[in-house]
Structure 1
Amino acid sequence: MAAGADRWRRQALRAAAVALAVDGIGFGVVVPPAVLAVAQGRGVPVVLGFPAYGGGPFEGYGLPTTVPLLTAFGVVCALQVAAAVLLWRRRPAGAVLALVSVALGGVFWWGFALPVGPVLGLLAVVLVLAGWPALAQGPR
């Protein structure tokens, strides 16, 4: 029974890593073109019919999409990918980084009105917590 539980916990960590990687890469890949467009004064690009990182609550509260704001979000996306790599290897630092990066990401998901981010973030947190006991064993 313990071996089955351990296997499930390892799979939970791998699934959390996938959720973080999809979120970090999926949103992060659009950040460089958005930074370039905003830096050139063209505003945020439109992706799949929606403004990338614009038109959300940040702007509603008077915080326009700027290069530093986009860069900060890009850093959070990179942290999520780093957490995913560490979690895949079952490193405890990956679990901590995952929780921190999801918390930081939440600010941007809300501010840019990105509905998929919270879903993947919540999934990752639940899976990290479920798989936590498998972290101390290290990679196999």
Structure 2
Amino acid sequence: MALIWFRIAAGVVAFLALGFGIPGVIGAVHYLRVGEVWRLWGFPTYGPGMFEKWGVPFGATLLVAFSAVCALALGSAVLLWLPGTAVVGAIAALVLLLAQAVFWIGFELPFGPPLGIAAVVLTVLGLAG
């Protein structure tokens, strides 16, 4: 039963990693070229948000850092999917979800926290099973 929870969690973690990581890379390249936040369907993808209030300067470096965390999270999703490395993947995913949460809150991304909580619950269910 634990493997089922791990695999569902891996899917959610991978979805989060790809869904935020790919636009992060595109946004960083766009910011370096144009000097403004990239817009997707008219909506700004990433902006200063809470980072500005925290005194963290917004720029391509911040977007690249977020994309790097997302890339690592994608790796943890792969480990979480495989039966032999699922526990290691679960621990890595939990740590990386916490790191991603800083960016979700800092960029004020509304879909990150609820999906992140779902991924944590599914991962913990897998560890408990």
Instruction: Using structure 2 for the length normalisation, give the TM-score.
Output: 0.90
CA distance in 2 between counterparts of 1:48 and 1:62 reads 29
Are 2:72 and 1:79 aligned? Answer: yes
Note the 1:109-120 alignment, pairs <5 A.
109-120=104-115
Structure 1 stretch displaced more, 37-46 or 16-25: 37-46
Aligned-pair RMSD on alpha carbons? 1.5
Rounded Cα–Cα distance in structure 2 between residues aligned with 1:76 and 1:49: 26
1:74-127 Cα shifts (integer Å, max 9, x gaps): 111111111110000031220111011100001000010111111111111111
* Separation in structure 2 between the aligned mates of residue 120 and residue 11 of structure 1, nearest angstrom: 18
Counting aligned pairs with the same residue, the percent is 41
1:1-24 CA distance string (max 9 Å, x none): xxxxxx3x2111111000000000
2 CA distance for matches of 1:85 and 1:64? Answer: 32
Can you give the 5+ residue segments of structure 2 that lack an aligned partner in the other structure? none
Distance 1:60 1:46 in 2: 22
Alpha-carbon distance, 1:69 to partner: 0.7
Structure with greater helix percent: 2
**TM value normalised by structure 1:** 0.83
SS in 2 for 1:130: helix
Counterparts of 1:106 and 1:78, CA distance in 2: 14
Partner secondary structure for residue 80 of structure 1: helix
Equivalent pairs counted in the alignment come to 127
The 5 A counterparts of 1:1-140 are 7=1, 9-90=2-83, 91=85, 92-133=87-128
Name the CA distance, whole Å, in 2 between partners of 1:67 and 1:99.
26
